[in-house]
Structures are given as structure tokens and as C-alpha cells.
Amino acid sequence: MALNNTYEARLVQQETAVGAGVQILLLALLGSAIGMGPAGWLTGLAFAIATWAVLSRALHRTRPRSFGPANRVTLGRAILVGGVTALVADSFESSPPVTLLVGLTAVALILDGVDGKVARRTGTSTALGARFDMEVDAFLILVLSVYVSMQLGPWVLLIGGMRYAFVAAAKAAPWLNAQLPHSMARKTVAAMQGVCLLLAGSDLLPYLANLGVVLLALGSLLWSFGRDVVWLWCNSRVAAPEAAQAEHVQLPVEELEMLELAVR
């Protein structure tokens, strides 16, 4: 049985290595198509290596029996996001190929609705898969916000950085780590960010229209995060007295046990 587990783990690790190889192949195709400069190459390679390393470590820690079809879809999305990241980095040195960037981003956004359905239909939903999907989404929004900020201003970075700021704040305020209730509004707002940023970066609309679209995305995101933070704060205020009361009720029981032991 141990040998079988080792074999499965090896296969899982091989899939992540194949993903990194496909990422490098995509970068080579992009490089030959548009003459990508050093910034794009280095950023794309850094993304590929970081994704492989982080995902391999997570798989080693959780030890799944197989990589799973849903995770393969998410890995494909991550490869596309790596291509978008390389193109955005290259745009600092030369004019970006907007059509290619929009095409890769659009496919990545469309596939965002596929991996979850695949996981549910195949019964392979896992905490690792959900986290992997969320991190790919968050990084794509960050990269798109960097790209659009070059047209509309650095304030657009608030969209891409808000989730990472929330994670950093949770380290200082643990009550932010509590489980949030299911919310379709939260999912809708999250999906809006990529669509709005893609629309603004596609050069299809005039400047004022792009400005309005991105302001709408930012406003809805601020509302969503603000609502969740208020809920988490109120929930922590309710949970604290309940925990204290439970501890207070338990104390006499512990004292009785100590007295019983003393009598014995």
C-alpha cells in the first residue's frame, strides 16, 4: 500500500511539472509571435516557477490520491494567466498586443466557471482545489488592474490589491479569518472585476466609458468587502461573550472534579 501511495504522489507531482513545461511552451510561442522582451520572459518564467513550487508544496502537504480533472482545468487557467502576466510585463517596454492579451484573458475568465462544475460533477471538490481556483482568480485580477492602471491611473490597483490587503489584515486581526456565509452577491461582484477590467483594457470604449466601468467595479468591490468586514466584526462580538460564558460555566465542573480527586 505504501508503494502505491508513493506512485500516486509521483504522478501528481509529474502533472505540476507538465504544467510548468506547458507554461514555458506558451511563453516561447508568445515570444516568437510578438518578439517579447526580457521583462516579459523573466516575469513569465518567474510565474511558472512560483506556481510549480507553491502547488507542489501544497500537494505534498495534502497528499491527494490524484490531481483531479477540476485541478487540471484550473492549472490550464493558471497557464493562461502566466501568459497574460508576461504580456502585461512586456507592455512596460513596448506596445502590447491588445488582441492577444484580451483573447488569453477572455478564455481564462470563461474557464473560471468550468473547473467548479467539473469538480461537482466528478465528486472531486477539495479545499485545495477551491484555494487554487481562488488564488488564480485573485492574481489575474491583480495583473489586469496593473495593466488598466497604466491607462486610468494607479488608483485602479486598489481592485487587484484589496484581496491581498484583506489577507494581510487578517494576520493582525484573527477575527477576519472566520468563515463567511454563502453569498451570491459576493460571487457576482468577484466575477464582475475581471469582466470590467478586461473591457477597460480592450480599448473598445472611449476613456470616460472605461473610467465609469472601472469605477463601478471598484465601488461594488468596496461594498462587498465592507459588508463582509462588518459581518465578521459583528459575529466576533457575539462569539466572544458566548465563549466566555461557556468557559465560566465549565469552571465549577472542573473544580468539582478536583475536589472529587482530592477526596479520593
The whole-number pLDDT of residue 1 equals 37
Q: What's the rounded Cα separation, in Å, for the pair 30 and 25? A: 9
Residues (pLDDT < 70) of the chain are 1-11, 239-264
The whole-number pLDDT of residue 160 equals 96
User: Are residues 62 and 9 in contact, defined by beta-carbon separation less than 8 angstroms?
Assistant: no
Q: What's the rounded Cα separation, in Å, for the pair 203 and 102? A: 10
List the Cα angle 43/44/45 in 5-degree steps.
95
Q: What's the rounded Cα separation, in Å, for the pair 104 and 113? A: 15
List the domain boundaries for the chain.
1-152, 170-264
Q: What's the rounded Cα separation, in Å, for the pair 144 and 157? A: 9
The whole-number pLDDT of residue 3 equals 39
Q: What is the dihedral of CA 38, 39, 45, 47, to 10 degrees?
A: 180
Q: What's the rounded Cα separation, in Å, for the pair 234 and 236? A: 5
Q: What's the rounded Cα separation, in Å, for the pair 146 and 29? A: 23
User: Are residues 245 and 182 in contact, defined by beta-carbon separation less than 8 angstroms?
Assistant: no
H or E segment and range at residue 216: helix 207-263
The whole-number pLDDT of residue 256 equals 36
- Predicted structure pTM score: 0.85
* Placement of cell 510548468 in the chain: 20
Q: What's the rounded Cα separation, in Å, for the pair 218 and 162? A: 10
* Placement of cell 461594498 in the chain: 223
